[in-house]
Amino acid sequence: MGIKERSTQRRRGVAFAAAALSLALIAGACSSDSDTEPVGTTGASTDDTTTVTEVAATPVDGGTLRYGLEADVDGLNPTTSAFSAPGYVMGHAVFDTLARVAEDGSIVPYLAESFTPSADFKSWTVKLRPGIKFHDGADLNADAVVKAFLLQQGAALVGLAVRPFYPETDAAVKIDDLTVQFNQLDANQYWPSALTSQLGMMPSPLWLDAAAADPTLNQKPVGTGPFMFDSRTADNVTRFVKNPSYWNGSVHLDAVEFYPVPDSADLLDLFNNDGLDALHTTDQTAIKDLKDNGTVTNLLDDTAEESFQMINSQNPPFDDVRVRQALAYATPKAKILELIGLGVSRPADQMFTPESPFFNPAVKQDADEPDKALPLVAAYCAEKGTTINPLLNKPTCTDGKVNMEYQFVGPSVVGLRTTEIFEEGWSVAFNITRDEVNQQDHIQQNALGQSNVIGWRQFGAIDPWADSVWLLCRTVGPISLNWPRYCDPARDTLLLDAQNTDDPAKRSENYKALAQNMHDAYTYIFINHTLWTNSFNENVRGTCDIKTLEGVALKCSNAGLTFLDTTWLDQ
């Protein structure tokens, strides 16, 4: 394709008013090289991926990038706040991580200079780069790293993803001013990928002390990143300004502003009418529109999350596998893929994409067979129909159908339409009560087990060991990141063995068995591999030019996350 001319016209003045956890580790792709800048769609495992090559250009300093997010978050403190995709986008603007994902998918040091395992892979020693300072002038050193880790380990929600994997004492030990040793409960040959996530984000120790005394400061983050906090109005706009002393090169943008817009139609309208310069979304209608727009850069990725219906197996009636299986059979998966997926996203049967070495081709998601749901529900209601559903405070069955609550995120037109289609299929055997909540409440309520069935996105970690946090018996509790609250010791064995072998065949065997195990438990009803786009208007450049100090090219986009370290505006 030919060289494009970039418009310099800007229209301002659009008013934003939007109401609005996963600690998901991230994976994905974005390609670039030193001579050209990719414009088009990159990173997705789909047939229609295209790349438009432009002539190289010299970065221009200045300007404010306006970025649209699918939701807001409850805070921006990586030691206490539940980061979903919007939290990661904003968080990575202000915080750097100890490690990053290279363009080839490997894990490389970033704030760290190196990480070295012990002989038994239960301990890892992290060496920091010297001379890096936080935005408030504090030094990045071993004390700062240990402080951040211990706060995460002790935090009510964030600690759920940390405590099950580390000893209560001496989990992070200072060796010298720039060296920390992390000690784990289990051997893990793939642990450094954890340092690319929220666990690896480094906040200022001075700010952490101040935020402990004044929790409102959790909204005003201080890190080492390319941008510094300027202002924040929840559910409206969060603004960061350029860090003029960034340790890893020059930052070109004067500022970046993040706007949460939960309704994807509104988000797309703002983008198309120059109210935004960039956005992220998983809405297939919006993605089709963005892909058809030849002036838009779309960084596509469907390898980093799965979309599914998730079932709480602890509460009646779904503590009975027959009811979980009946819901799977009654799920109108084909209609969802046709009417909501629009042929954009790929169907999913498990947590691995077909390209993964861990994909199990024998595993097929049960769905679209409502007749098979009826005898299962009939048998359950005959035996346990008078049991109380504690969530609804009424019997689990009425008129021969199972009573259930379905929770989804809103306000969203597409979310409501999706819910209506699910209800249409499930109604053959289920009476459904709706519960529409914002994303923050969605995460918190389900951590507390206050659900029957929910729509959810998850899995697709950089290395699958990190998805163990959602699956192990030890992560079930009063507050739980094993959201279905399902425990199977055999599953635990598969997971822990897979993270401590360097034999690819053995790892593949274990994860294929895991896929079958998850199918047979009927706690997840897989729908599709979540297709994310991070999309940019035609004058946004340089996003995929990020490198380490050693010159290693880094992935610029993973699922719904974009790094903006090297982004610039052709004004």
Closest by CA to 542, choosing from 568, 518, 562, 517, is 568
Percent above pLDDT 70 for the chain: 90
The answer to whether the beta carbons of residues 299 and 556 sit under 8 Å apart is yes
Residue 56 pLDDT level (bands cut at 50, 70, 90): low
The answer to whether the beta carbons of residues 29 and 38 sit under 8 Å apart is no
pLDDT above 80 (res 43): no
Alpha-carbon distances, residue 158 vs 134, 459, 534 (angstroms): 22, 17, 26
Q: What is the pLDDT of residue 411?
A: 82
Cα–Cα distance for residue pair 277/534, rounded to 1 Å: 11
β-strand pairing of 306-311 with 524-529: antiparallel
pLDDT (mean) for 531-548: 96
Tell me how crowded residue 159 is: count the other CB atoms within 10 A of its CB: 18
pLDDT above 80 (res 445): yes
Ranges of CATH 3.40.190.10 domains, the chain: 37-303+532-569
Ranges of CATH 3.10.105.10 domains, the chain: 306-529
Alpha-carbon distances, residue 406 vs 280, 442, 446, 509, 528 (angstroms): 26, 11, 12, 35, 19
Cα–Cα distance for residue pair 467/194, rounded to 1 Å: 11
- DSSP H or E run through 241: strand 237-242
Q: What is the pTM for the complete model shown?
A: 0.85
Least confident of 91-100, 212-221, 431-440: 431-440
Contacts of 306 (CB under 8 A, 6+ apart): 348, 350, 351, 457, 458, 459, 460, 526, 527, 528, 529, 530
pLDDT (mean) for 307-317: 96
Residue for token pair 């300027």: 230
DSSP letters along 254-319, please? Answer: SEEEEEE--SHHHHHHHHHTTS-SEEEE--HHHHHHHHH-TT-EEEEE-SS-EEEEEE-SSSTTTT
pLDDT digits (tens, 9 = 90+) for 141-192: 999 999 999 999 999 888 889 999 999 999 999 999 999 999 999 999 999 9
Cα–Cα distance for residue pair 242/454, rounded to 1 Å: 39
pLDDT above 80 (res 75): yes
pLDDT (mean) for 108-128: 98
pLDDT above 60 (res 262): yes
Cα–Cα distance for residue pair 323/206, rounded to 1 Å: 51
Residue 38 pLDDT level (bands cut at 50, 70, 90): very low
Mean pLDDT across the chain, nearest whole number? Answer: 89
What kind of architecture, by CATH, is found in domain 37-303+532-569? 3-Layer(aba) Sandwich (3.40)
Least confident of 48-57, 410-419, 459-468: 48-57
Cα–Cα distance for residue pair 53/256, rounded to 1 Å: 26
Total residue count of the chain as it appears in this document:
571
pLDDT above 90 (res 9): no
pLDDT digits (tens, 9 = 90+) for 198-221: 999 999 999 999 999 999 999 999
Closest by CA to 489, choosing from 501, 503, 473, 502, is 473
CATH number of the domain located at residue range(s) 306-529 in this protein: 3.10.105.10
Closest by CA to 262, choosing from 244, 242, 283, is 283
pLDDT digits (tens, 9 = 90+) for 374-432: 999 999 999 999 999 999 999 999 999 999 999 998 888 888 999 999 999 999 999 99
Q: What is the pLDDT of residue 415?
A: 86
Q: What is the pLDDT of residue 414?
A: 83
